[in-house]
């Protein structure tokens, strides 16, 4: 989804550099921006023309890296004082450049997310370049393979109109992703596993506990937690009684809305892993 024409990349680079504008970035600030966007091998600014330098860096980067950069430059944390207002101004300008590519940046749970523009508006899909992104934050090869398999099964369900089962697959994907991430990146869980208030191991770690733990320990933000909780609730439609009590029949729009917070959670986890890997 995130193939961007070189001319559009040039326009995006010009907007991000904003030379002589209110959000102008010097060379060292561009370098820091790429690092903050989670680029593993962010290039060192070499003193050349900033727009050309950034455009070349984007053209040489993978799709996932470009997506993270677009999201980062639209994140309020990048701006002082009126963060959300400044970030939204930049987002609107970027969206004008991206519209010709059928792309847009919107906010899901206050997290910038790149989405596709469809005939009926914004369309959220499964994360792009999922395999390299998972391998960057999960060391265990078998775990990544299981996650990729579940994501593919979810896409198959979505493409064939099995929307309830697609949402069940999405909840399952998030559950295993958080479980693997916490066991790798959280020192206490890596050492002791999940334990209850009595200090005894918890044999069954629920998705609710995984989400709560990821939030309370700072791996995902509160708004992401709130939205992914809704995905968790819909995942429970695996129990037909629960679905009939809710009287909800998910459709393709329901599935699309569930992908949004999943993309945001993945971005949060990538940011955590990247911050831990920095010297």
Which pLDDT band holds residue 244 (cuts at 50, 70, 90)? very high
Share of the chain above pLDDT 70, in %: 97
Residue 109's pLDDT is what? Answer: 64
Burial label for 154, CB within 10 Å (0-12, 13-18, 19+), is: buried
User: Average pLDDT of 136-155?
Assistant: 96
- b/e for 94-122, b at 16 or more Cβ within 10 A? bbebbeebebbbbbbbebbbbbebeeeeb
Calpha distance 103→82 (Å, rounded): 26
CATH of domain 130-277: 1.20.120
Q: Given a cut of 60, is residue 260 above it in pLDDT?
A: yes
Residue 268's pLDDT is what? Answer: 86
Calpha distance 93→195 (Å, rounded): 48
Which pLDDT band holds residue 134 (cuts at 50, 70, 90)? very high
Calpha distance 270→250 (Å, rounded): 29
Convert the pLDDT of each residue in 185-219 to its tens digit.
999 999 999 988 888 888 889 999 999 999 999 99
**Distances from the Cα of 250 to the Cαs of 34, 169, 170, 213, 244, in angstroms?**
38, 13, 13, 28, 12
User: Average pLDDT of 235-239?
Assistant: 92
Q: Given a cut of 50, is residue 132 above it in pLDDT?
A: yes
Higher pLDDT, 230 or 197: 230
Q: What does the angle CA 222 – CA 227 – CA 231 come to, to the nearest 5 degrees?
A: 135
Residues near 115 by beta carbon (within 8 Å), at least 6 away in sequence: 103, 104, 105, 106, 122, 123, 124, 125, 260
Convert the pLDDT of each residue in 31-80 to its tens digit.
999 998 878 788 999 999 999 999 999 999 877 788 889 999 999 889 98
Residue 2's pLDDT is what? Answer: 61
Convert the pLDDT of each residue in 98-117 to its tens digit.
998 889 998 876 778 888 88
User: Average pLDDT of 267-275?
Assistant: 83
Calpha distance 275→270 (Å, rounded): 9
Q: Annotate 70-130 with DSSP letters as a single string.
A: HHHHTSGGGSSSSHHHHHHHHHHHHHHHHGGGTEEEEEETTEEEEEEEETTEEE--SPTTH
Spans of all domains in the chain: 6-123, 130-277
Convert the pLDDT of each residue in 2-13 to its tens digit.
678 999 999 999
Residue 277's pLDDT is what? Answer: 55
Residue 108's pLDDT is what? Answer: 75
Structure tokens at 145: 């393979």
Residue 279's pLDDT is what? Answer: 41
Structure tokens at 85: 């207002």
Q: Given a cut of 70, is residue 278 above it in pLDDT?
A: no
User: Does residue 153 contact residue 147 with C-beta atoms inside 8 Å?
Assistant: no
Averaged pLDDT score across all residues of the chain? 90
Closest CA to 175 of 142, 226, 209: 209
């Amino acid at each position: 989804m995130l193939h961007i024409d070189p001319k559009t990349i040039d326009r995006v680079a010009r907007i991000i550099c904003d030379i002589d504008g209110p959000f102008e970035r010097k060379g060292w600030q561009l370098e820091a921006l790429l690092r903050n966007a989670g680029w593993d091998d962010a290039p060192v600014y070499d003193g050349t023309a900033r727009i050309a330098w950034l455009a070349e860096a984007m053209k040489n980067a993978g799709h996932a890296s470009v997506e993270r950069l677009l999201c980062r430059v639209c994140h309020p944390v990048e701006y002082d004082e009126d963060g959300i207002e400044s970030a939204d101004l930049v987002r609107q300008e970027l969206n004008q450049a991206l519209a010709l590519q059928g792309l847009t940046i919107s906010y899901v749970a206050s997290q910038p997310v790149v989405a596709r523009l469809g005939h009926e508006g914004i369309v959220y899909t499964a994360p792009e370049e999922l395999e390299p992104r998972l391998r960057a934050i999960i060391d265990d090869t078998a775990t990544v393979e299981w996650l990729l398999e579940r994501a593919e099964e979810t896409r198959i369900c979505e493409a064939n109109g099995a929307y309830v089962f697609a949402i069940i697959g999405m909840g399952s994907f998030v559950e295993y992703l958080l479980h693997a991430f916490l066991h790798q990146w959280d020192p206490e869980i890596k050492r002791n596993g999940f334990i209850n208030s009595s200090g005894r191991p918890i044999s069954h770690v629920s998705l609710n506990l995984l989400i709560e733990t990821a939030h309370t320990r700072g791996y995902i933000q509160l708004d992401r937690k709130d939205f992914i909780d809704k995905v968790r609730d819909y995942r429970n439609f695996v129990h037909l009684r629960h679905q009939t009590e809710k009287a909800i029949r998910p459709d393709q729009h329901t599935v699309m809305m569930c992908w949004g917070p999943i993309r945001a959670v993945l971005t949060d986890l990538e940011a955590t892993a990247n911050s831990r890997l920095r010297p």
